[in-house]
Amino acid sequence: MTDYFLLFPVLLVIALSFFVIVAGLFIKQKRALGYVAIAGLLAAFLITLSDVNANASLFYNSIVVDPFVQFFNLLFLMVSLLVCIASLEYYRNNPNQDEYYALLLLATAGMMFVSLSNDLIILFVGFELVSLPTYILAGFDKRNPHSMEASLKYFIIGALSSAILLFGISFIFGITGTTNLETILKQSHVLASSPIAPLAMILILVGFGFKMALVPFHMWAPDTYEGAPSVVSAFLAAGSKTVAFVAAFRVFLIALIAIKLEWYIAFAILAVITMSVGNVIAIAQRSVKRMLAYSSIAHAGYVIIAFVVIARSADTAQYALAGGILHALSHAIGKAGAFIVTAFVGYMIMKNGGKDSGGDSIDDYDGLGKRAPVTALLMTILLFSLAGIPPTFGFYTKFVLFLSAIQGGLLWLAIIAVLNSALSVYYYAKVVMRIYWGEPKGEKIIEPTGYVLAALLAVIAIIVLGVYPEPLYKLAMNAAEALMH
Amino acid sequence: MVGYISSIFAILFIGAIVTFLTKTREQARMVAVLTSWTTLIIAILMLFEYRALGGIENFTEIYKWIPSIGVTYHVAVDGLSLPMVLLTTIICALCTIYAWEEKHRSNQFFALILFIEFALIGVFVSLDFFLFFIFWEFVLIPMFFFIGVWGGPKKDYAAIKFLVYTHISSVVMLLGIFSIYYFNIKAGNPATFDIPTLLSAYPALPLTDFWRNFIFAALLFGFLVKMPAVPFHTWLPDAHVEAPTIGSILLAGVLLKMGGYGLFRFLIPMIPNAADFFVYVIALFAIVSILYAPFAAFMQPDIKKLIAFSSIGHMGFISLGVAASIAGGGETPRIFAASGAMFQLFAHGVITAVLFGSAGIIEHHTGTRIIQNLGGLAKKMPKFAFLMIIGFLASIGFPGTVAFIAEFSILAGSFPQMPFFVVLALISIPITVLYHLWAIQRAMLGPYNESIGKVHDAAWYELTALAVWVAIIFALGLYPAPIFEMTHTAAANLIDVLPKGGIG
């Protein structure tokens, strides 16, 4: 019975969402609802943190709570928290902000459901619970045509990918007669001997590929991240993308482990092209949000190295999975922080009398070091973390991940990955150059607390975890062990 | 009880942050000078204590850091790293004097000097690969900002080329480190990044030839790019030309030494397990650098670029010493070559500081660095000319200066093992003399070039920094024992772990 209390955080988030939308009808000071959301998320975060080593199976084994689940729930709650703090500033005077917070909370609950699910149907429903609110959120600046374009593209591709995913799931159900991941695992022999299993695997992979924005299923991501409101881009890049990683880890490493030789090759090819294409195209971008979108694609390429290593070498699987989830975390923190800074730059441009470009063009970053010194420093650290320069958390996670590739005997993959990572320094450093030695195009401005606080929290996490990663590494190893049994 | 090394870290880190937060130039330079000179005093105390103890490795501090993957905070100094720590503290302490009147964003400028000092000392004292790599990479960031914020007209290009080029070399090196770590675990040893443990376990690891050569080549590439050896040197002239004077002094004076230091610290102990031909690979890189750099320097119109190329040539001598210390031959010359090369790391660091300092003074007072537009500066700037000419003579390897001791030991120690390479290296010496003297003749001597306009002698802070460096050049040139004894012991210990009679 007490096991059901483990679901308290996710239920709290859902309840909060309903509360916010109902309370929004009655109160004038809608900004207060943002604080309510933040308080609720913080409470959910702390409760989850206190049960981080929980182990339970609920509702006829269709929902599980284990360190792996808790790790990612903490990640989602943290991302949501950062985005909410920044949104206090971003949507300060928006009359519809109650709906915004409600949708954000609902999507967060969906993310948590995906990681809790031990059943393909719950996983799919959780996915939809993430997707539907985020389609709306991407178009939340409804008078901005870019935002509408982002939303529409995201919706069409998202619906398509959901359909493909569901199609794949239906094949799995057809082969094994069940949707429960662990029962599928018990039917491994059926799966391994079925001629349709590879087809089902490919359909599921393509479905997840769209959601993770792997090349060649990535086309929607740059347009969506660029057009969506910056705080929503932060949520999409840090949260929604990670949901796809969680789901893929669960489905491929538990249910489809029997046919790992088939997906090993698929993931190896996808990893190489995803990181290479992402990095090369990111170099050419003049829009910072697009650059961050492509860098996000490249980071997805790094994370799926974990799948390749796991399929290749059973001894290294735990290290690789720990590396993969740690890197997903460092990417989420870095990307959330970086997009929040773009939100700030958009605000700065608007304050200067310019059009709100959403902090988009790299030219807007000229002299940021003089105009907003604190934000500039935070952005620099965030970008260096994404680039993997020590002593940031981004360096540490790449270190663990690429080390696991060598340990798995995949030297070629490690070489491609580190060269890609080295190349990526170029486009991050280019932004840093603009920040510190571009000519400022305006006066020094007062930096709003909301943005600074959100970015600062991300930077503190990056530095503390980068300098002392030991506790988190243990947590990630526990999480990996929980998933792999 | 906090050890010497940790207290240096703490002082520099806090000093750098305080400097960054100061509001005026006076405050910034005051904090920076205090911090860097305190560090220098601690380093000198370490030197005395080290000599009194007469040990091999001292001031060791080991703390657990990330035990799950075997990372420790392991720092110590030995006869190889203590001269490097001294060099770093001397150069940085005088840089804070040299930069006395820096006007542009002075708090950030002084803070960066302290940050880079922090990182450089970290590189030289770390005995854990993880820690070492963090410092190794962290060095790039302050230098990136030095070039970028205070650099010349093409600074964007130079800064990013420097960052990406050297970063690529670092990550390739990291792959080599990963491989050592992995095979150490595979052999049944506990996971560790501890450098002495890994190096002593290395010969017994179950490595195929491919992996041995891969690991060696990956580390070698990382170090050669940093040195830099021709043909991996192309980032260096660009970086130097655009970097501010302090940036150049630090870059050539200390940053390049990281590559040479790495060769001694990691590569030589690993050589018995790599293929024999690597001795000749290193020697070849050395000789190409030694021969190519003087010719390239000859053709440079810009005095700073000339000095940059002279650095590449002098760093080639270090690679030659490394190759000679592992090549087949008697113990004595090999120790002599290694010790000379270690001494050269120190010697060239001080000399190049004088040279780049001089180039900076010329640019500061005349507004140009193009040798053709100068002429007869000695008449107008006598004190400066005196110091600069001594610096140039030292760079040639004039007897009585540190460079003579260093290069003489390298060449004498290398001759028995690889006479052919030494003869080739000797060819470079007259050319080196020639381009140094020719540059002096055109820039400093002869009739004064009136088109420069009115010039004054260098300012007191510039002259002080130069004078102290020149004094060190002479003092250690005439009595090299304080440093040379240390490098000699370190070299003897190093050769001791190699197979008798050398390789190849």
Contact call for residues A217 and A253 (beta carbons, < 8 A): no
> Does position B56 have pLDDT exceeding 80, yes or no?
no
Does A473 reach chain B within 8 Å, measured CB to CB? yes
Contact call for residues B181 and A403 (beta carbons, < 8 A): yes
Query: Cβ of B182 and A403 within 8 Å?
Result: yes
CB under 8 Å to A201, separation ≥6 — which residues? A168, A256, A259, A262, A263, A266
Does B172 reach chain A within 8 Å, measured CB to CB? yes
- CA dist list (Å): A257 to A250, A326, B188, B356, B370: 10, 21, 28, 61, 67
Q: Name residue A32's amino acid.
A: A
Residue B398 neighbours by CB distance under 10 Å? 16
Does B20 reach chain A within 8 Å, measured CB to CB? no
Report the gap between the CA of A45 and the closest CA in chain B (Å): 25
Shortest CA distance to A242 belongs to which of A478, A459, A76?
Answer: A76
Q: What Rg, from alpha-carbon coordinates, does chain A have?
A: 21
Does B207 reach chain A within 8 Å, measured CB to CB? no
How do residues B67-110 score in pLDDT, each as one tens digit? 989 999 999 998 899 999 999 999 999 999 999 988 888 999 99
Query: What is the CA angle A227-A24-A34, rounded to 5?
Result: 60
Does A280 reach chain B within 8 Å, measured CB to CB? no
Does the N-terminal peptide bond of residue B231 adopt cis geometry, omega within 30 degrees of 0?
Answer: yes
Query: Cβ of A389 and B137 within 8 Å?
Result: yes
How do residues B142-168 score in pLDDT, each as one tens digit? 999 999 999 888 999 999 999 999 999
Does A426 reach chain B within 8 Å, measured CB to CB? yes
Q: Which of the four pLDDT bands, split at 50, 70 and 90, describes residue B460?
A: very high
Does B179 reach chain A within 8 Å, measured CB to CB? yes
Contact call for residues A296 and A224 (beta carbons, < 8 A): no
User: Which of A403, A415, A427, A463 is the mutation pick for testing B, counting most B CBs within 10 A?
Assistant: A403
Residue A474 neighbours by CB distance under 10 Å? 15
Q: Extract the tokens encoding A391.
A: 């002593």
How do residues A245-268 score in pLDDT, each as one tens digit? 999 999 999 988 888 888 999 999
Q: Extract the tokens encoding A341.
A: 């800074």
Least confident interval from A268-282, B241-255, B445-459: B445-459
HEC string of chain A?
Answer: CHHHHHHHHHHHHHHHHHHHHHHHHHCCCCHHHHHHHHHHHHHHHHHHHHCCCCCEEECCCCEEECHHHHHHHHHHHHHHHHHHHHHHHHCCCCCCHHHHHHHHHHHHHHHHHHHHECEHHHHHHHHHHHHHHHHHHHCCCCCCHHHHHHHHHHHHHHHHHHHHHHHHHHHHHHHHCCCEHHHHHHCHHHHHHCCCHHHHHHHHHHHHHHHHCCCCCCCHHHHHHHHCCHHHHHHHHHHHHHHHHHHHHHHHHHHCHHHHHHHHHHHHHHHHHHHHHHHHHHHCCCEHHHHHHHHHHHHHHHHCHHHHHHHHCCCCHHHHHHHHHHHHHHHHHHHHHHHHHHHHHHHHHHHCCCCCCCCCEHHHHCCHHHHCHHHHHHHHHHHHHHHCCCCCHHHHHHHHHHHHHHHCCCHHHHHHHHHHHHHHHHHHHHHHHHHHHCCCCCCCCCCCHHHHHHHHHHHHHHHHHHHCCHHHHHHHHHHHHHHHC
- CA dist list (Å): B6 to B63, B115, B203: 11, 15, 32
CB under 8 Å to A186, separation ≥6 — which residues? none
Query: Cβ of B160 and A430 within 8 Å?
Result: yes
Query: Cβ of B175 and A474 within 8 Å?
Result: no
User: Least CA distance to B176: which residue of chain A?
Assistant: A406
User: Least CA distance to A477: which residue of chain B?
Assistant: B68
SS3 B66: strand
Report the gap between the CA of A430 and the closest CA in chain B (Å): 8
What pLDDT sits at residue B53? 80
Query: Cβ of B67 and A470 within 8 Å?
Result: yes
How crowded is the C-beta side of B219, counted as CA atoms within 13 Å? 26
How do residues A148-161 score in pLDDT, each as one tens digit? 999 999 999 999 99
Query: Cβ of A418 and B182 within 8 Å?
Result: no
> Does position B331 have pLDDT exceeding 70, yes or no?
yes
User: Which of B175, B215, B242 is the mutation pick for testing A, counting most A CBs within 10 A?
Assistant: B175
Query: Cβ of A403 and B144 within 8 Å?
Result: no
Give the number of beta-carbon pairs within 8 Å between A and B. Answer: 87
HEC string of A90-132?
Answer: HCCCCCCHHHHHHHHHHHHHHHHHHHHECEHHHHHHHHHHHHH
Query: Cβ of A391 and B138 within 8 Å?
Result: yes
Q: A-chain residues within 8 Å CB-CB of B155?
A: 437
Of A4 and A222, the one with more pLDDT: A222
Q: Which of the four pLDDT bands, split at 50, 70 and 90, describes residue A217?
A: very high
Q: B-chain residues within 8 Å CB-CB of A384?
A: 141
How do residues B221-250 score in pLDDT, each as one tens digit? 999 999 999 899 999 999 999 999 999 999
What pLDDT sits at residue A358? 61
Return the residue matching tokens 């459901």: A113
Q: From the list A407, A432, A477, which residue is nearest B182 (CB)?
A: A407
Contact call for residues B350 and B376 (beta carbons, < 8 A): no
User: Least CA distance to B210: which residue of chain A?
Assistant: A411
Residue B64 has phi, psi (to 5 degrees) of -70, 140
Q: Extract the tokens encoding A107.
A: 């999507």
Q: Which of the four pLDDT bands, split at 50, 70 and 90, describes residue B503?
A: low
User: Least CA distance to B134: which residue of chain A?
Assistant: A390
Q: Which of the four pLDDT bands, split at 50, 70 and 90, describes residue B451?
A: confident
Contact call for residues B208 and B241 (beta carbons, < 8 A): no
| Average pLDDT of every residue of chain B | 92
Element holding B64 (H helix, E strand): strand B57-66
- Give this complex's ipTM: 0.92
Shortest CA distance to A448 belongs to which of A375, A383, A376?
Answer: A375
Does A469 reach chain B within 8 Å, measured CB to CB? yes
Query: Cβ of B163 and A425 within 8 Å?
Result: yes
SS3 B55: coil
- Predicted TM-score (pTM) of this structure: 0.94
Contact call for residues B449 and B374 (beta carbons, < 8 A): yes
Does B178 reach chain A within 8 Å, measured CB to CB? yes
Average pLDDT estimate for A55-61 = 88
Query: Cβ of B65 and A436 within 8 Å?
Result: no
DSSP assignments along B73-141, one per residue: EEEEEETTHHHHHHHHHHHHHHHHHHTTT--TTHHHHHHHHHHHHHHHHHHHHB-BHHHHHHHHHHTHH
What pLDDT sits at residue B147? 94
Does B185 reach chain A within 8 Å, measured CB to CB? yes
Q: From the list A384, A403, A473, which residue is nearest B181 (CB)?
A: A403
How do residues A17-50 score in pLDDT, each as one tens digit? 999 999 999 988 888 999 999 999 999 999 999 9
Separation of alpha carbons B297 and B305, rounded Å:
7
Does A462 reach chain B within 8 Å, measured CB to CB? no
Does A423 reach chain B within 8 Å, measured CB to CB? yes
Report the gap between the CA of B25 and the closest CA in chain A (Å): 17
Distance of CA A82 to the CA centre of its chain: 13
Q: From the list A391, A403, A436, which residue is nearest B134 (CB)?
A: A391
Contact call for residues B497 and B269 (beta carbons, < 8 A): yes
SS3 B324: helix
Q: Extract the tokens encoding A338.
A: 């970086």
Q: A-chain residues within 8 Å CB-CB of B212?
A: none
Q: Extract the tokens encoding B204.
A: 């017994």
> Does position A84 have pLDDT exceeding 70, yes or no?
yes
What is the DSSP code (8-state) at residue B328? S
How do residues A407-428 score in pLDDT, each as one tens digit? 998 999 999 999 999 999 999 9
User: Which of A437, A472, A478 is the mutation pick for testing B, counting most B CBs within 10 A?
Assistant: A437
User: Least CA distance to A432: which residue of chain B?
Assistant: B145
What pLDDT sits at residue B55? 63
Query: Cβ of B65 and A395 within 8 Å?
Result: no
Does A309 reach chain B within 8 Å, measured CB to CB? no
> Does position B501 have pLDDT exceeding 80, yes or no?
no
Handedness of CA B439, B440, B445, B449 (dihedral sign): positive
